[in-house]
């Protein structure tokens, strides 16, 4: 059984600690800081075997060096980012697979937010650790890649089983909901999700993980084919052009 523990850190980041109980193997996804992870490991009596980095930004790799020094873990990341991420041992590419104990993980290339962004998919749970490619009700900014690259990356995620749990790396949902409602105000699923998000945040609870099925009904960046988006787009334009315009609108919202 794979246990997933969510650690809120910094202003709005999430670190995910993954533990396979049968074989006592542990990994951490995108450790922005080392200290909360070390405290959890000590409390649980677990040793850290792997760090799984999705991309090179410091709020995802800031804890790499200290964790590696303290635990001797190995660091996995995209081959593209191996020279930009501290301490990389294992260079990953699209289609690579690895085991954390008995839990199989598949690597998905998802450029767009950065050139070397990857996601980690665990099909049995099922769970996707998607870094900054997809957020609940939103998607990542285009810091290095193109809208076309990010659009293709999101389509890879859309093709996953709809019961996949989306473990994104930031608590952006409430802010994303405001933009989504400006685009798709008559969407009942989106309005319901917005109210749920408000309730969760008022209780100090996270809004992720979230089911992919929910995102397919509510996230405007996954609903480019829908005709009821309330923005000034040419409905006859190619989907990628509509996506690019929507990403621009979010940037200036």
Give yes or no: 60 in active site: yes
| Catalytic member of 19, 20, 49, 55 | 55
Active-site option among 56, 115, 170, 194 = 170
- H helix or E strand, kind and range, residue 76: strand 74-78
The catalytic residue among 19, 56, 60, 117 is: 60
Which of 19, 30, 49, 57 is flagged as catalytic? 57
Judge whether 60 and 77 are in contact, CB under 8 Å: no
The alpha carbon of 151 is separated from its chain's Cα centroid by a whole number of angstroms, namely 15
pTM, two decimal places: 0.95
Residue tagged active-site, from 30, 49, 81, 132: 132
Q: pLDDT at position 234, please?
A: 52
For 78-120, what is each residue's pLDDT tens digit?
A: 999 999 999 999 999 999 999 999 999 999 999 999 999 999 9
Q: Is 89 a catalytic residue?
A: no
pLDDT given at position 230: 57
Give yes or no: 21 in active site.
no
**Residue 228 bears catalytic tag:** no
How do beta strands 134-135 and 127-131 pair? unpaired
Query: Which of 113, 115, 117, 194 is an active site residue?
Result: 113
What pLDDT does residue 226 have?
66
pLDDT computed for residue 236 by the predictor: 52
pLDDT values of the chain reduced to their tens digit, one per residue, 253 residues: 899 999 999 999 999 999 999 999 999 999 999 999 999 999 999 999 999 999 999 999 999 999 999 999 999 999 999 999 999 999 999 999 999 999 999 999 999 999 999 999 999 999 999 999 999 999 999 999 999 999 999 999 999 999 999 999 999 999 999 999 999 999 999 999 999 999 999 999 999 999 999 999 999 999 987 644 555 555 556 888 889 999 999 999 9
Give per-residue pLDDT as tens, 139-167. 999 999 999 999 999 999 999 999 999 99
Q: Which of 81, 186, 87 is nearest to 132 (CA)?
A: 81
- Measured between alpha carbons, how far is 102 from 2 in angstroms, rounded to an integer? 9
Task: Give residue limits of the domains in the chain.
Answer: 2-251
Query: Does residue 79 carry a catalytic annotation?
Result: no
As its CATH architecture, domain 2-251 has: 4-Layer Sandwich (3.60)
């Amino acid at each position: 059984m794979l246990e997933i523990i969510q650690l809120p850190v910094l202003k709005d980041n999430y670190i995910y600690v993954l533990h396979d109980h049968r074989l006592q193997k542990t990994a951490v996804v995108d450790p922005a800081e080392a200290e909360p992870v070390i405290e959890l490991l000590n409390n649980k009596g677990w040793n850290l075997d792997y760090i799984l980095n999705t991309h090179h930004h410091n709020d995802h790799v800031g804890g790499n060096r200290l964790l590696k020094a303290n635990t001797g873990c190995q660091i996995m990341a995209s081959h593209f980012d191996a020279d930009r991420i501290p301490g990389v041992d294992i260079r990953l590419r699209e289609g690579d697979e690895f085991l954390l104990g008995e839990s199989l993980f598949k690597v998905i290339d998802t450029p767009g937010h950065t050139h070397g962004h990857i996601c980690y998919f665990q099909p049995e749970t099922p769970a996707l650790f998607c870094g900054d490619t997809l957020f609940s009700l939103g998607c990542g900014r285009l810091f290095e890649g193109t809208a076309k690259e990010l659009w293709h990356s999101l389509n890879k995620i859309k093709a996953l089983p709809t019961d996949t749990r989306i473990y994104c790396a930031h608590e952006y949902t409430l802010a994303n909901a405001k933009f989504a409602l400006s685009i798709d105000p008559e969407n009942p699923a989106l309005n319901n999700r917005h109210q749920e998000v408000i309730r969760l945040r008022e209780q100090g609870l996270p809004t992720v993980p979230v089911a992919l099925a929910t995102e397919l009904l509510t996230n405007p960046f996954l609903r480019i084919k829908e005709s009821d988006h309330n923005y000034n787009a040419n409905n006859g334009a190619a989907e990628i052009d509509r996506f690019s315009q929507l990403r621009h609108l979010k940037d200036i919202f």
